[in-house]
């Protein structure tokens, strides 16, 4: 089977490629990635001989057409993925997340190729901290940020292409991922690498916002489950019952790194900051039989901390630039 993985040099896509090569010897992988700031080609270096890496843009219709024509399956991870960047400048989010997805959909329509679309729970907006509800496949779309609205728009394009043109597509909406190879602009690796470099972790606002954490390997196993057994045209929510507030995440990181658990700062809040995400993944579990392997967040976090401690060469070259970017807008408030 030939698989085209878009965004395969980023966090989740690269983990998907590595896991696929180790678990599915029958799969031939081609990665299409623009190698933006978010990509790290070093992640794929150990498997460079076993994959084809095409450097290019998913919005390049001609390039995409040729690659899709020669594949059996497209797994579409490529995106501009960071909310804070989308607030500073939304243009790349519209171009990649909307126009790029459109270009892939047109190619899979022309060549009748199976397509799996990777998306996020942020398309549903947020929940109050005391709301007993969780997101399901029936929750109405209500995105808050330029990032989440462009992801929501891309999901709606997929649904329309299924209904209007009959493409063979599935969609998954997953909660917050953590694990190795995540860019240090994101919350968990930013705080781990802050502590490792002697900087105090930074909590936005009051630190009570809740995210529903899932290990990246569990996400990618669910993606293969949906590709193997999901119903064409359907959406599946992926989550591992991992709701934790941001302050508790930071306190756990400090504790695991043998630091005082109050050695962090509160900084200016993110505009429009979603309060809480929570996924009900009953459908994926009951209909397709998927189960997460990482059920204890502290254990998964400890393994992730160990990975960043053991791989400074992977992240250190970016640390100064990422923190200088945050310093331009972030003020300590407590
Ligand atoms: P990432 O930012 O780490 O990686 C994105 C990759 O896409 C990078 O390698 C980048 O170079 C590539 N890319 C960006 N624009 C491109 C373009 N125009 N053409 C080709 N390649 C391009 O992101 P991630 O965290 O790995 O997220 C992957 C996917 O999973 C995204 O679709 C995201 O919306 C979704 N998702 C992420 C999370 C999360 O917690 N990180 C949760 C749910 C869903
Ligand atoms: O320094 C920080 N301090 C802080 O308190 C950063 C970078 C973040 N935060 C907070 C904001 C969020 O409440 O931590 C939480 C997680 O922040 P991010 O890592 O930026 O993730 P989030 O905005 O929740 O979005 C992530 O999950 C869903 C991914 O980046 C998206 O691509 C995915 O769709």
73-76 and 51-55: which strand pairing? unpaired
Residue-wise pLDDT tens digits, 265-290: 999 999 999 999 999 999 999 999 99
- Cα of 212 to ligand 2 centre, how many Å? 11
232 & 306 share domain: no
Ligand 2: centre distance to CA 109 (Å):
34
In this prediction the ipTM stands at 0.99
Q: How confident is the model at residue 119 (pLDDT cuts 50, 70, 90)?
A: very high
- The dihedral region occupied by 267, where left means phi > 0, alpha psi between -120 and 50, and beta the remainder, is beta
Q: Is 83 in the pocket of ligand 2 (CB under 6 A)?
A: yes
Integer distance in angstroms from the first to the last C-alpha of the chain? 54
Chain center to CA of 259: 29
Task: Please tell me the pTM assigned to this model.
Answer: 0.99
Residue 332 in domain: no
Confidence at residue 157, expressed as pLDDT on a 0 to 100 scale: 99
Q: Are residues 165 and 269 in the same domain?
A: no
pLDDT for the residue numbered 162: 98
Residue 165 lies in a domain: yes
CA of 232 to the centre of ligand 2 (A): 31
Burial (CB count within 10 angstroms: exposed 0-12, middle 13-18, buried 19+), residue 308 = buried
Q: Which residue is closest in CA terms to ligand 2's atom 27? A: 176
Ligand 1 centroid to residue 224 C-alpha, Å: 17
CB-ligand 2 contact for 15 (6 Å cutoff): no
Q: Do 198 and 68 reside in the same domain of the chain?
A: no
Residue 328 domain flag: no
Ligand nearest to the CA of 237: 1
CB neighbours (10 Å) of residue 267? Answer: 20
State whether 42 and 120 are in the same domain: yes
Alpha-carbon gap, residue 164 to 180, rounded angstroms: 39
The residue behind tokens 């190619």 is: 107
Average pLDDT over residues 199-206: 98
Q: From the alpha carbon of 84, which atom of ligand 2 is closest?
A: 20
pLDDT band of residue 46 (cuts 50, 70, 90) is: very high
Residues 28 and 115 in one domain: yes
Residue 154 in domain: yes
Q: Are 114 and 227 members of one domain? A: yes
Say yes or no: CB of residue 81 within 6 Å of ligand 2.
yes
Query: Which atom, in ligand 1's list, is nearest to the CA of 76?
Result: 32
Residue nearest to atom 42 of ligand 1 (CA): 176
Structural domains in the chain (count): 2
Q: For position 234, which CATH number holds? A: 3.40.50.720
Q: What is the pLDDT of residue 274?
A: 98
- Do 218 and 71 lie in one domain? The reply is yes
Which residue's CA is the closest to the ligand 1 atom numbered 8?
10
User: 218: closest CA among 226, 230, 210, 209?
Assistant: 226
Together in a domain, 153 and 7: yes
User: 297-310 and 187-196 helices cross at what angle (nearest 10)?
Assistant: 50
Looking at residue 16, its pLDDT comes to 99
pLDDT in tens, 177-197: 999 999 999 999 999 999 999
pLDDT tens-digit series, residues 223-270: 999 999 999 999 999 999 999 999 999 999 999 999 999 999 999 999
CA nearest to 17, candidates 55, 57, 45: 45
Looking at the structure, tell me whether residues 233 and 248 fall in a common domain. Answer: no
What is the percentage of the chain residues whose pLDDT exceeds 90? 100
Whether 124 and 231 have beta carbons less than 8 Å apart is answered as no
pLDDT per position as a tens digit, 51-107: 999 999 999 999 999 999 999 999 999 999 999 999 999 999 999 999 999 999 999
Distance (angstroms) between ligand 2 centre and the Cα of 63 equals: 32
User: What is the distance between the alpha carbons of residues 68 and 76, in angstroms, rounded to a whole number?
Assistant: 12
Catalytic residues: 121-122, 147
The whole domain housing 162 covers 2-177+213-238
276 pocket-lining for ligand 2 (C-beta < 6 Å) = no
Residues 55 and 196 in one domain: no
Q: In this predicted model, what pLDDT tens digit does every residue of 13-26 receive, in sequence order?
A: 999 999 999 999 99
Q: Tell me, what CATH number does 266's domain have?
A: 3.90.25.10
State how far the Cα of 198 lies from the Cα of 304, in Å rounded to an integer.
18
The answer to whether position 111 is within a domain reads yes
The pLDDT score that the predictor gives to residue 152 is: 99
**Total H helices, total E strands in the chain:** 12, 13
For ligand 2, the distance from its centroid to the CA atom of residue 282, given in whole angstroms, is 24
Which DSSP symbol is given to 194?
H
Query: Average pLDDT, whole number, for the chain?
Result: 98
Q: Is residue 141 a part of any domain in this protein?
A: yes
Same domain, 160 and 218: yes
CB 122 near ligand 2, within 6 Å: yes
10 burial level (CB within 10 Å; 0-12, 13-18, 19+): buried
**Ligand 2 atom at minimum distance from 191 CA:** 1
Mean pLDDT of 153-163: 99
The closest ligand to the CA of 333 turns out to be 2
| 142 and 264 within one domain | no
Domain membership of residue 91 (yes or no) is: yes
Residue 315 included in any domain: yes
Longest dimension (CA), the chain: 58
Burial tier of 3 (Cβ tally within 10 Å: 0-12, 13-18, 19+): buried
């Amino acid at each position: 089977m030939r698989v085209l993985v878009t965004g395969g040099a980023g966090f989740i896509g690269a983990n998907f490629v590595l896991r696929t090569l180790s678990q599915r010897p029958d799969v031939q992988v081609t990665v299409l990635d623009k190698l933006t700031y978010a990509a790290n080609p070093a992640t794929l270096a150990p498997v460079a001989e076993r994959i084809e890496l095409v450097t290019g843009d998913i919005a390049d219709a001609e390039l995409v057409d040729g690659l899709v024509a020669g594949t059996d399956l497209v797994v579409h991870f490529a995106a501009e993925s960071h909310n804070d960047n989308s607030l500073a400048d939304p243009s790349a989010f519209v171009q990649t997340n909307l126009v790029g997805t459109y270009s892939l959909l047109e190619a899979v329509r022309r060549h009748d190729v199976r397509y799996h679309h990777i998306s996020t729970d942020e398309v549903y907006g947020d929940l109050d901290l005391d709301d007993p509800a969780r997101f399901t496949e029936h929750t109405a779309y209500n995105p808050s940020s330029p990032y989440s609205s462009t992801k929501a728009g891309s999901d709606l394009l997929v649904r329309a292409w299924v209904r209007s043109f009959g493409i063979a597509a599935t969609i998954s909406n997953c909660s917050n991922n953590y694990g190795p190879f995540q860019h240090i602009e994101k919350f968990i690796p930013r705080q781990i690498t802050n502590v490792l470099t002697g900087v105090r972790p930074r909590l936005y606002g009051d630190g009570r916002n809740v995210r529903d954490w899932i290990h990246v390997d569990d996400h990618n196993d669910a993606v293969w489950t949906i590709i193997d057994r999901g119903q064409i045209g359907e959406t599946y929510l992926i989550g591992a019952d991992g709701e934790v507030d941001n302050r508790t995440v930071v306190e756990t990181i400090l504790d695991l790194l043998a630091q005082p658990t109050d050695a962090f700062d509160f900084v200016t809040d993110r505009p429009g900051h979603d309060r809480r995400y929570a996924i009900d993944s009953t459908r994926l579990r009951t209909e397709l039989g998927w189960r997460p392997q990482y059920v204890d967040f502290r254990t998964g976090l400890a393994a992730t901390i160990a990975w960043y401690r053991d791989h400074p060469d992977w992240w250190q070259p970016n640390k100064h630039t990422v923190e200088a970017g945050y310093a331009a807008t972030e003020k300590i408030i407590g």
